[in-house]
Structure 1
Amino acid sequence: MKKSCPRCSSLNIKKKGFTKSCSKTKRGFTERKLQRYLCKYCNKSFTLEVRNKRKRHSREFIEAAIKRYMEDNTTIRSVSNSLGISHQRLLNWVMQYGENAKSPLEVALEIRPKYSGLLGVDGKELKINGRDFTLLVAQDILTFDTVFFSLVEGENMEESRRFFLIIRDILKYPVKGIVSDLGRGRVFIPL
């Protein structure tokens, strides 16, 4: 097959030196020379060999990598090594996925499951960076769906009130009763 100019398709071309192409591999950088040509008709120089382009991964590959990391409960490095990609690339994909994901509040407003109206609320004491926090979790008693959770500074009336107002007013949970052990033992409060 005769070489031709990609611009004017002329066969009247001559060699005009080399250009260097550098590509990154697992063993470092490799450099290769690419032949340059000059078209005698349109006076343009060009390279016929295609340079290495950045490898782009398909959406299916990216989603499978993120799913594997999330569901297999393994480290980023083990998943990235098994897939042959860098751990930073996988971490960037996971971070982008997290930024685009819906919050638990948006999911709860969108799903609107058939709640029973009986809410079980409990708190779990946590220590984060030496500070004490309480994770409040509200769960529907019959469907076992987590309705809402919030990390608060402590189990006090103000935080509990704000927590329940979000459940009732923002999430529109049909509260018929609350079972809780917040502070004073198990209580059943009809609303």
Structure 2
Amino acid sequence: MINKLNNMRELSLDQREDLLNTLKVRFDENMNRHEGVRWANVQTKLEADVDKLWSINEMEATGGEPDVVGFDNNKNAYVFCDCSAESPKGRRNVCYDRAALDSRKRFKPQNNAVDMAAAMGIEILTVDQYWELQKLGKFDTKTSSWVKTPDNIRKLGGALFCDRRYDTVFVYHNGAESYYSARGFRGLITI
């Protein structure tokens, strides 16, 4: 779950160093995700934005294994995305959003994906972003992940999720109030 002890959204020096070391190791081990990107440039951006570094730490703490997956030329920013093989463990068993959570009369989950993402300072992946992530590896072969759902679908009570089965990426629908031990959500942040 989200780090409730650190309400100030700030990491200690030791936490920052540990996180940067973890991110650098992951960056070096997965160069196919960010060809042509230099770690020194990424680190400079990370060190300059403590709020976003805190968010990336939350991604890490909930099992997302964030890594650089691209560069947004319009924002002059690196894109970090959850790259864990399966949907992040610390973000599973959640329904889609607050309205879905409030609509449940019994057996409510502890949280919802939209509120968790907002509290972490990240965005839930869109379907297109999910497909782009799947070009970098095989993700969610045993789990599934909620994705940003268009308003017209959400107004009718539904929500979208994705996974990878049979070497194919699928987009499905479910009632937004549903939740499963194998469904979480993936997020991204630009820095």
Normalised-by-shorter TM-score class = under 0.3
- The structure with the largest alpha-carbon Rg is 1
Higher strand share: 1
Higher helix share: 2
Q: Given the two structures, how large is their TM-score scaled by the length of structure 2?
A: 0.24
